A and B are shown apart, each in its own frame.
Chain A
Amino acid sequence: MRGRTSLPGLSGLGSPRGLRATTTVVVVAAVLLPLVPLLVWSVAGTWRYPDVVPGRFTRRGLDLVLDGEVVAATATSLLIAVTVAVLACAIGLSAGRAIGLYRFRGRRLVQFLLLAPVIVPGLAVTLGIQVFFVRYGLADTVLGVVLVQLMPTVPYAATLLGAAYANLDVDYERQARTLGSGPWRTFLTVTVPLLRPALVTTALLTFLISWSEYVLTLLIGGGQVTTLPLLLFAAIGSSDRTAAAALGLLVVLPPVVIVLLVARRLRGRDDAWMGLARG
């Protein structure tokens, strides 16, 4: 069934195999080309202008990544991203249940409210409330950064988990309740295991959004909460291309690994890719 005849459209353009292969190579090259200088610069000691290959290689980039400042920033990034992912999943589980299992008035409004923050980048929104973070002592703190990062992650988690709840067979919960299990026990031993795949995906993707976030951390962290993207931004601004490239690799690796891990589960779910596109 998956032969030529069952796949019309452009796929059987009638073009010779060679042309098709060439186009594929061009696509792969276009996708990968911008990553080449990143990889090369991260190990380049000296790389004078017209040279296509560095004159000397160095492990300075690696040393820099293992440097105290970078390790501390990695720890801060991890702390914030894990906290944000856990909170977003908890809040998203609750909201997702309402979205997935209930029909109620104002559902469309709720959908809009949960869509807008995923789509609209945070800068315009955060400028207005920064003064409140300052006032309540949340500016320049990890807690403040965690709270502001809930804005893009919670709606996203709620949407993903809402879809998972919509596919949940609530009869399992009813049966557990009938057999005498309390609400919490039912939730922990029946609902959560049933939702586990979606929950893992949501946790990883919200982690990823937080890990990549720059401008919200800058505005609320005020430069005091130093995450990896902040260090990377500073490095890009400096003229040290080796340092910038090494930091860039450190920032890019976890997201790529995570997406490769969850890609299989996300097939056919364009709402899940939505949050990734804004990173």
Chain B
Amino acid sequence: MSQSVVPTGPTTRQHAVRRGVPERLRPLLLLSPALVVVGVFFVGGVAQAVLQSLGRQPFLGETDWSVEAYRATFADPAFRASLTLTLRVVVLSTGLATVLGVAVALLVRRHARGPLTTLLQSTLAVPHLVGALCIGLLLSPSGFVSRLGAGAGLVDGPQDFWVLTNDAFGWGIIAEYTWKEAPFVAVVALAAMTPHVRDLEAAARVLGAGRWRRLTTVTLPLIAPPVAAASVLVASFAAASYEVPRLLGQSFPATLPVVALQRYQDTDLLVRPQAMAVATIIAVLSLTLVAAYLTLVSRLSRRSL
């Protein structure tokens, strides 16, 4: 070991000199392709949405700065209905996915390497588009659950079944997000239940803490940071994803992403700034959640050891 150190130093230094890239600039150089991708598509995308929502029209040479698009958007009762729906879907899906996910993780943790964990992981791989199809075939008026109900004599016909898909409340959307994201939260929670957590639980047990006490004062606080992080990811996704509300929701009121695309595809180009305003609102909402996620992660991880 010590022998190899001697020739290594000079070699690397010579190498750095030969290539002409100072050590200090190496990370920047290595990062540049990724930063170009993120900078052009992501930062550029958000910036363009903001600019275009404020009246800029690329390649048309006309820039007429105004906040008219935002004023019109917020004045529109349809938008307010969409915002309410979106927030309802986000809060309910995130809450359900978190509670159910943690419960499932606590249930299967003893067999964390067992088939049940594998099952949860494979659900994660199901694309949301397929998930929306599944929930549609399951919960629609003539869907599988309705058939089962009819078989059991509980449902008289498709008209008699609850309207759970393409409904005003958003049940179908919430069902899909919960079905897909609860396993995600569970997988994250399982990953957080490390041997270290087990040791602390055992210590609490030795010190006389009962089951409930151990759960609420040891286990849950310890897995809280990653679980909270996962929940924020679920919320951010539910706020900004398109396929599921498009397929399982109504076209009015629709969630914000659906509204953004509806306005974008409007033949009247004057509506386009409004589409960008809605896109900006989604991006701000979503990025706020990302920032909350980072704050939460750092604060919670500081608190729990």
Contacts and interface: CB of A to CB of B under 8 A. Distances in A.
Interface of A: 5-14, 20, 23-24, 27-28, 30-38, 40-41, 49-52, 90-92, 94-95, 97-99, 102, 104, 110, 112-117, 119-121, 123-129, 131-132, 135, 147-148, 150-151, 154-155, 158, 171, 174-175, 177-178, 183, 208, 211-212, 214-215, 229, 232-233, 236, 241, 244-245, 248, 251-252, 255-256, 258-260, 263, 266-270, 273-274, 276-279
20 contacts: A7-B198, A8-B202, A9-B193, A11-B109, A11-B110, A27-B104, A50-B147, A92-B34, A95-B30, A121-B237, A121-B286, A123-B240, A128-B47, A148-B41, A155-B37, A212-B129, A255-B127, A276-B124, A277-B180, A278-B241
A30 B142 CA distance: 19
B contact face: mostly helix, strand, loop, or mixed: helix
Given A123-B261, A124-B257, A129 B45 contact: yes
Interface in B102-128: 104, 106-110, 113, 116, 118-128
B151 A116 contact: no
Interface residues of B, number: 121
- Of the listed residues A51, A248, A266, the one surrounded by the most CB atoms of chain B closer than 10 A to its CB is A248
B187 to A, nearest CB: 5
B237 A236 contact: no
A33 B192 CA distance: 27
Contacts of A151: 37-38, 41-42, 45
B233 A258 contact: no
Given A113-B39, A236-B136, A248-B134, 8 more contacts: A24-B116, A115-B290, A123-B242, A124-B240, A124-B260, A128-B45, A260-B121, A273-B184
B17 interface: no
A204 B183 CA distance: 20
